């Protein structure tokens, strides 16, 4: 897969500046650069952030690992598992709502709500 410089820079900006990750994390999981920000990374980060805010998951879980896991695994471990405690999780994951829409602060990446 060939990645454009623009895509790499956009992903690096998101991970380093918005998420506060160290570059070493991206080096450990280079496949992150090939994933879609809008379709995979931002939805998963939003779900994970909401679960942290609600006190349902530990911040020590490596978010990069969660992003690279397959969709079935992610949905089972972080959406389906907590749907009773946080019924809006699936809508958040699908992009039908945002953390801002749920009453939490937000930042934007290219006009898309991150958190």
Cα–Cα dist 89/97, whole Å: 9
Q: Check residue 19 and report its DSSP letter.
A: S
Cα–Cα dist 91/16, whole Å: 26
Does the residue 113 lie in any domain? no
**Residue 105: its pLDDT value, please?**
57
Residue 84 has φ and ψ, to the nearest 5°, of: -75, -40
Does the residue 93 lie in any domain? yes
Name the more confident of 24 and 100: 24
**Residue 25: its pLDDT value, please?**
87
Does the residue 112 lie in any domain? no
Does the residue 43 lie in any domain? yes
Instruction: Name the pLDDT band for 112 (thresholds 50, 70, 90).
Output: very low
Considering its fold, how many domains does the chain have in total?
1
Does the residue 24 lie in any domain? yes
- How many CA atoms, within 13 angstroms, populate the side-chain half-sphere of residue 86? 26
Q: Is the pLDDT of residue 110 over 50?
A: no
- How many CA atoms, within 13 angstroms, populate the side-chain half-sphere of residue 7? 13
Does the residue 69 lie in any domain? yes
Cα–Cα dist 40/46, whole Å: 10
Burial track 43-65 (b if 16+ CB lie within 10 A, e otherwise): bbbbbbbbbeeeeebeeeeebbe
Q: Is the pLDDT of residue 108 over 80?
A: no
Tens digit of pLDDT for each residue in 11-49? 999 989 988 889 998 889 899 999 999 999 999 988 998
**Residue 97: its pLDDT value, please?**
78
Tens digit of pLDDT for each residue in 52-94? 889 999 877 888 888 999 999 999 999 999 999 999 999 999 9
* Boundaries of domain holding 46: 5-104
């Amino acid at each position: 897969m060939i990645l454009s410089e623009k895509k790499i820079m956009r992903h690096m900006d998101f991970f380093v500046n918005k998420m506060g990750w160290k570059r070493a994390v991206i080096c450990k999981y280079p496949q992150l650069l090939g994933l879609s920000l809008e379709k995979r990374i931002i939805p998963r980060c939003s779900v994970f952030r909401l679960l942290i805010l609600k006190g349902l998951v530990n911040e020590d879980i490596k978010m990069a690992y969660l992003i690279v896991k397959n969709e079935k695994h992610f949905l089972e471990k972080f959406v389906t598992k907590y749907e009773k405690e946080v019924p809006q999780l699936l809508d958040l994951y699908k992009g039908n709502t945002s953390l801002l829409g749920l009453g939490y602060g937000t930042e934007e990446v290219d006009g898309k709500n991150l958190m």
